[in-house]
Every structure is written in C-alpha cells, then in structure tokens.
Amino acid sequence: MQVSCSSDLDLTPYDSQSELTFWQTEEDANVYLNAIYADLMNADQYLFLNSLSDDAYTKGREEYRNIASGSYGPTNGVVTGVWSGRYEAIRRTNIFFNNIDNVSEITEEQRVSFKGQARFIRALHYFYLTELYGDVPFITDEISIEESLNLERTDEATILSFIYSELNQAIEELPRTYSNEENGRITRGAAIALTSRIHLYHEEYQEAASLAQELLGEYTLFPDYGALFKTENETANEIILSLQYVPVDREHNIQYSLIPPSLGGYANFSPLQELVDSYPTLNGYAIDDPMANYDEDAPYQNRDPRLKATIIYDGYQMTGFDGNQVTINTAPGVAPDGLNYSSNSTPTGYYVHKFYDPMARNQTNSGLNLILIRYAEVLLNYAEAKIELGEFNEQDWNTTIRALRERAGLQGAALEFPGTNQDVLREIVRNERRIELAFEAGHRFFDIRRWKIAEDVLEGWTHGIKTDESTADDGYIRVSLRTFDPSRHYLWPIPQSERDINNNLTQNPNW
C-alpha cells in the first residue's frame, strides 16, 4: 500500500467538510483513506479477544478477564471502548464518502477503487458491531451531536442486508491486485472472503460456499506454517489482508504480553491447557483416542507441528533476539520463566511463539503485520459450509482439510478422507479452525458464539500444565473460574454511558 507502511497511517484526518484546502489532491484522498485503514482493528483487540475464549487467559487485562469470567456489565471498559471506537471509525468512513467525489486530481478508476476499500471497511465495522451487540444504531451519513443523542437501534437483519450490499458492490469496484508499492490494500479477494465469512456466521451456507469457491486456486498455502507469521513472508500469496505495520514508524507492542521474561516479556496473555489438548498427534487422532499413541509424560512429542509453531512449552528451544539458541523452562518455580515464578512469568505454563518477531525493536515494539484474512480461513469456510449443506466429499476434503494438514506436516490417517458422517466432519472442521487460526483476530471468540457452544467451553475451571500438586482435575493446575450465562452473554450489553445520554437506546436481554 502506498504510504501504508508509514506514519501517515496514524495521521488524524480532517473530519470537517469546511476544510476548503482538503479533499482536492490525490495525496489528500490517500492520507484520509490510509487513516481509516488504521481503524480496521487495533493490535490489542486482535490479540486479547482470544482471551475471551477457551484458548487463552490474561492476568493483566482486568476488563478482558472479567468478560471471560462472566463478571462484567454495561460499564466494562472493553464493552464501551469497542462500541465507541467502531462508531468513531464509521463516522470517518461516512465523511470519506461525502467528500471523495470532490477530489478532482484522481482518475475515475482510482475513485472507484477508493470507494470499494472504504465500503469494505465500513461493512467490517458494522459486522463486528452486530456480532457483539446485536441491533445497533445504523448511520451512513455525517450527523450532528444532537442527532446522535436521539438514535435508536436498527434491527440486525436490516444492517446485515446493508453489509451484503456494500460488500457486493466492493467486489465489483475493487481490483484483484495492486502494484507492489500499494501492497496491503483491500482487494476483490478480501471482499469475497469477508462476505463468505459473514454468510457462514449467519448459517447461509450455500452463499458462503459459493463465494469461497470463487477463491479456490486463486491463492495458495504458504509451505511453512510457522514461517508464515514472520516479517520476511508478509507478502506470501496466502495472506489476503493484514493490519499493516513497519518498524519504527508504525508498531505494536503485543509481543511484550506473549514472550517469556528471559526474553524481556511479561506473560499477560497465556495459552490454556484446553487449547494445547486440542492439537492431535501426528496421525490426526485426538490425544484421548487410543489410536493417538499419546504419552502424557512426553506431552509435546508426536504432536501436530502447529502446536510448536504456536505455543512455547517446557523445554522449548528457540532463537533468541541475539541469534543464539535458548531453552525455555516453564516448570513450576524455575527462574525466570517457570510457572508462577514471578509476576512476569506464565500462570499456565505456556507462552506464545506464533507472533514472535526476533527483529522487533527493543524486543517488544514490533513492525510485524497481523493477518486479518488468509487463504487457510477461506478453505475452512468452504469446508464448513459444504459439511453443513451435507455436500462435503473426498475432493472437498483433499482441497481443504487434507491440504491444511499436509502443509502442517501431519501424516498417515490424518490425511485420509474420514467419510461423509456429518457429525464426524463437523467435529474435525471445528477443531481444525481452532488450531489453524489460533490467536488470530478473535476467530475462536466468534466461533464458539456462533456455534452456541460457549456455555459448554466457558463454564468451570480453565487449566494450565500438569503439576500434580493437587489431585483435582487430574493434577492440571487450575487457572481461572469462568461462568457463561447463555440467556445474556451471547451479546454484550449496550454501554451504560451511551444509554445515559440517549434514552432511545434499549438494552439487550437480561442486562
């Protein structure tokens, strides 16, 4: 993306139509468009939404932790912040649409492309808002403060229709590719992939499958799963859309929350045993299956290689920032990385390797891009939709699940078509989504809600490594006690601060 990897992305755009000196040149349009790209998703939400699932735990982000445990309400800072942030971003896109036609120093082809990118961004904001809050205020134009204080909630179905309309138009307006200097911009493929995802979320399986099928073969899986998440491979053909970062000019600091103290980190985001247990053995069998040949005394051996690419465990060997090999010991009480050794060390016995950036400035300020959409998700969307339609066959298996497993390095039975039993296939694709997309953009957080299994997986104790210090839970350490009430927790509450200033905003059930 031209100037997408520069500080221009963080410029505050001109939000007033009365700025007569703005909205004239190609640079004006680019600066504003790049600024609304920065609204797609911030790095904190990208990571910490995953701590609201059964994959991870955060000890330092109290408001995220409270949502995960079920002890939150309409004043929660995350609930309030996501709402206000998305609506501020929607306001900026509305200003963009009201002014882009005034820019005379761009070609009509550029104008159409710019509009397609902005349509995608605004549709994405409304998608997240409706997924989280249900019915929400619907605004497609600039409004005054006074008007904003009288808004009512629009039913989700109406907004969903708008989302589809905008994305379908974006698909027509967006190019398939850009020049190298514009790498990172939203493409036609990104719009198709997002539209497929949204149809899948709403159980519109035929539409989801048809759209995903359009992209089959247009992208390819990067051959090395672990290396896909490194700076040197940020232009891999598998990556359809990323949050754009670059060292020094535009960085995020989530790495500090992921890596061990011995590398300068603070375990503010820690994988749970429940996620670790979801990785099968190399032959594709779940670890509780007698065919898995799983050894609880050597739990990280003979496992799906995506486990090692994603999670740092006891005895893990990796390359440190100085280029030398280091061994991370996470056993209880071992300095400095051991379980609960200090306030900086892991409360679960695990750290995160997936986004480890050895090129990060000061070890924590990273310019690594964060992937929003990639081809692997498209394959999983297609597989799930075809399974739910009852149409999934061996060719579909080879194109999707087998391709992902072969890339990961699984062997033998893991690659064989398991037949057409829908329950078996559903279990396979759901677990495949979990491990393939772990910690990326909140996928698991949204999946357990759309599948309506959150009351099962977010109820009771979460766990860390096996210590045998207690006979409870087979010796696996208890980390946090969670509660999920299906009568209200499938939607977040409308923020109290918004209802205090606008009596027209109703509240979600049981809040």
Provide the pLDDT for residue 72. Answer: 98
Domain boundary among 171, 186, 201: 186
Pair 320, 467 in one domain: yes
- Which DSSP symbol is given to 492? P
Give tens-digit pLDDT for 300-354.
999 999 999 999 999 999 999 999 999 999 999 999 999 999 999 999 999 999 9
Pair 295, 160 in one domain: no
Provide the pLDDT for residue 5. Answer: 36
The amino acid that residue 328 corresponds to is I
Reported confidence tier of residue 152, pLDDT bands at 50, 70, 90: very high
- Mean pLDDT, rounded, of the chain: 95
Pair 182, 257 in one domain: no
Residue 401 lies in a domain: no
Provide the pLDDT for residue 248. Answer: 84
Residue 368 has pLDDT above 60, yes or no: yes
Residue 57 lies in a domain: yes
Which residues form the domain of 356? 253-365+462-483
Residue 338 lies in a domain: yes
Provide the pLDDT for residue 19. Answer: 55
Pair 173, 297 in one domain: no
Residue 27 has pLDDT above 70, yes or no: yes
- Which DSSP symbol is given to 476? E
Residue 135 lies in a domain: yes
For residue 167, give the nearest of 214, 210, 127 by alpha carbon: 127
DSSP per position, 293-309: ---TTSTTTTB-THHHH
How many independent structural domains does the chain possess? 2
Taking every pair of C-alpha atoms in the chain, what is the biggest distance, in angstroms?
Answer: 73
Average pLDDT over residues 349-370: 94
**Joined tokens for residue 138:** 């619907």
Pair 264, 146 in one domain: no
Return the percentage of the chain with pLDDT > 90, whole number: 92
Average pLDDT over residues 141-151: 94
Domain boundary among 186, 218, 242: 186
Write out the H or E segment, with its range, that includes residue 377.
helix 375-388
Residue 200 lies in a domain: no
Integer Cα distance of 314 and 331 in angstroms: 6
* SS (HEC) of 116-153: HHHHHHHHHHHHHHHHHHCCECCCCCCCCHHHHCCCCC
Provide the pLDDT for residue 362. Answer: 83
Average pLDDT over residues 388-411: 98
Pair 284, 145 in one domain: no
Reported confidence tier of residue 15, pLDDT bands at 50, 70, 90: very low
Integer Cα distance of 209 and 2 in angstroms: 33
Reported confidence tier of residue 9, pLDDT bands at 50, 70, 90: very low
Provide the pLDDT for residue 249. Answer: 85
Residue 102 lies in a domain: yes
The amino acid that residue 65 corresponds to is R
Domain boundary among 159, 186, 213: 186
Check which CATH number belongs to the domain holding 122 and give it.
Answer: 1.25.40.390
Pair 74, 182 in one domain: yes
Q: Among 17-21, 43-47, 363-367, which is the least confidently predicted range?
A: 17-21
